[in-house]
A = this chain, B = another copy of it.
Amino acid sequence: ASTVACAADTTIPAAAVKTAEQLRDKAMHDDTGYRIAESLTTEVGQRLAGSPADKRGVEWAIAKFRELGFDKVYTEPVTYPKWVRHSESGAIVSPFPQSLALTSLGYSPGTPKGGLTAQVVRFASLDALKNADPARVKGKIVYIGFRMQRHKDGHDYGMGSAIRTQGPVIAQAKGAAGFLLRSAGTDPESRTPHAGVTGFRDPAKTIPAAALSNPDADQLERVLAYDKPVTVKLDLDCGIEGEYTGANVIGEITGAKYPDQVVAIGGHLDSWDLGTGAIDDAAGVAIAMGAAKLIHDLPQRPDRTIRVIAFANEEMGLWGGRAYAEKHADEVGKFQLGTESDFGSGRIWRMSASVKPQARGAIEQIAKVLAPIGVAYDAKRPGGGGSDLSQMHGKGMAALSLTQDGTYYFDWHHTANDTFDKIDPKDLAQNVAVYAAFSYMAAQADGDFGSAPGAFADDGAGD
């Protein structure tokens, strides 16, 4: 129950609540977001950061913002190491020769010409590798076979991604020749390996690292169970080739009253290269663009600016989000509220917020508008702002978390199967409805949500 409002409390005017309800109801039956996702995945396809398609993605985003009638469209440069995938293959050499479906991980170096052939040593867990005697690892290909299970909140990705990022680094430090993991994915039956970034930072301290599809991991484990030495060959042609400067692409619906105060929403424009980056993250870009477009179509501009950011190179380490936060840290107080969509296109089922105490009532007003479309408000959790915008939240931006149903997200995440057919139009529409309604209410609020330098340093959202 909300307490009695006092003068210092942030509130949403009744007229704005009513308009937000109308936006919500319209969005639920609108396909603007769905068509944006279709356009991006069809006309551009995969958008690996730094690839020729990255540039086409930026051009697409600029053109799409303009086509949708955004008031202001601009880019901000983002520079990062350019990692390139040329080709990849793998095989069990002995005792039972056969090919393996695998994919190189981000920042993996290539293997020597002719490939890397070495014996496989299996570890039951990341901890087992951490505790291993380097003598067991030296010169071998380390393999870890953690199996992710499907969960609504996708929490097994915590361990799956830890193995993918830390595993190669630890294996390299112990003298391993290469690293393989069972893909961080929940598709036990699909021969589609899951890409993703490693934790390699120093190019001098890397080893070839790749992910096996789940059935290939099963196969390797069956072969290992014969208790004979198992030799695998990796032939990876990939690696960092200089630097690339891409761009965050930004479109704005300019605020009528406070144009310099912004509600920040977005997704990331880049994707892995195996699929067409539909659920990760054409969906996020489409949700944010689609929500802003609905606000654009209102008879009047909102009081504050709605800023949609299509981030560059989230996949290889939040490069776009970090560049954005560095550039805009000193204006953090101007960011009314923000959050990014980057967990697919499943329905939003939970909202949480990191805001000042005097804005809790306004958050409750937002929650009340979102409840009829299935969003439960959890007042106890922080709001982290999503992947790239977590960086602005870290600087002090008031932020929401709008948690999507990720039950099947990790079936397709970072694989060849991340294609447009995985997006359910009704589910995507619900996301657009949530983003449109909350963004509009935040833009019309009497008062702010507490953004200020360092404001939410201790909210636990970064944990």
Which residue numbers of A lie inside 8 Å of B, CB to CB? 38, 42-46, 53, 96-99, 101, 188-192, 215, 218-219, 222-223, 275-276, 415-417, 419-422
Q: A38-B222, A218-B420, A218-B421 are in contact. Are A98 and B276 (CB under 8 A)?
A: yes
Contact A421 to B215, CB < 8 A, known contacts A98-B276, A190-B190: yes
Do the beta carbons of A417 and B96 come within 8 Å of each other? no
Q: Report the separation of the CA atoms of residues A188 and B419 in the bound assembly, to the nearest whole angstrom.
A: 11
Copies in the complex: 2
Cβ A417 vs Cβ B191 within 8 A: yes
- Picked from B101, B218, B223, B420, the residue with its CB within 8 Å of the CB of A416 is B101
| Residue with the greatest number of chain B CB neighbours at <10 A, chosen from A45, A53, A422 | A45
| Interface pair A219/B96, CB less than 8 Å apart | no
Q: How far is the CA of A420 from the CA of B190 in the complex (A)?
A: 12
Query: Chain B's nearest CB lies how many Å from the CB of A211?
Result: 15
Closest chain B residue to A91, Cβ basis: B45
Top 8 A-B pairs ranked by shortest CB distance? A45-B98, A191-B416, A215-B419, A42-B222, A43-B96, A191-B417, A215-B421, A189-B421
A96 touches B421 (CB 8 A): no
Q: Would you give the shortest CB distance from A402 to chain B, in whole angstroms?
A: 25
Q: A191-B275, A192-B191, A276-B219 are in contact. Are A96 and B420 (CB under 8 A)?
A: no
- A190 interface neighbour in B97, B219, B417, Cβ under 8 Å: B417
Partner of A191, one of B189, B222, B223, B419: B419
Closest Cβ of chain B to A233, distance in Å, is 14
* Known contacts A98-B46, A416-B101; A188 and B421 CB within 8 A of each other: yes
Contacts of A188 in B (CB 8 A): 421
Most chain B CB atoms below 10 A, which of A215, A222, A417: A215
- Nearest Cβ in chain B — how far from A444, in angstroms? 38
Quick one: closest B residue to A96, CB to CB?
Answer: B43
A422 to B189, CA, bound (A): 7
Chain B residues with Cβ below 8 Å from A43 are 96
| Sample of 6 further A-B pairs with CB below 8 A, known A189-B419, A218-B421, A219-B276 | A42-B219, A43-B96, A53-B97, A98-B276, A190-B192, A191-B275
Q: Considering only CB atoms, which chain B residue lies closest to A187 in the complex?
A: B190
Query: Is there an interface contact between A96 and B44, defined as CB atoms closer than 8 Å?
Result: yes
Is there an interface contact between B42 and A223, defined as CB atoms closer than 8 Å? yes
Of B42, B98, B191, B415, which one neighbours A96 at CB under 8 angstroms? B42
Q: How far is the CA of A101 from the CA of B190 in the complex (A)?
A: 15
Is B219's CB under 8 angstroms from A419's CB?
yes
How far in angstroms is the closest Cβ of chain B from A434? 25
CB neighbours of A38 from chain B (8 A): 222
The smallest beta-carbon distance between A398 and chain B, in angstroms, is 38
Return chain B residues, CB-CB under 8 Å to A97. Answer: 45, 53
| Chain B nearest CB, measured from A246 CB (Å) | 18
Q: Specify the chain B residue showing the minimal Cβ separation from A223.
A: B42
User: What would 11 A/B residue contacts be, using CB atoms closer than 8 Å?
Assistant: A38-B222, A43-B96, A45-B98, A45-B99, A46-B98, A98-B276, A189-B417, A189-B419, A215-B421, A218-B420, A219-B276
Docked complex Cα distance between A45 and B419 (Å): 29
Shortest CB-to-CB span from A87 to chain B, Å, is 10
Q: Which residues of B contact A422 (CB under 8 A)?
A: 189
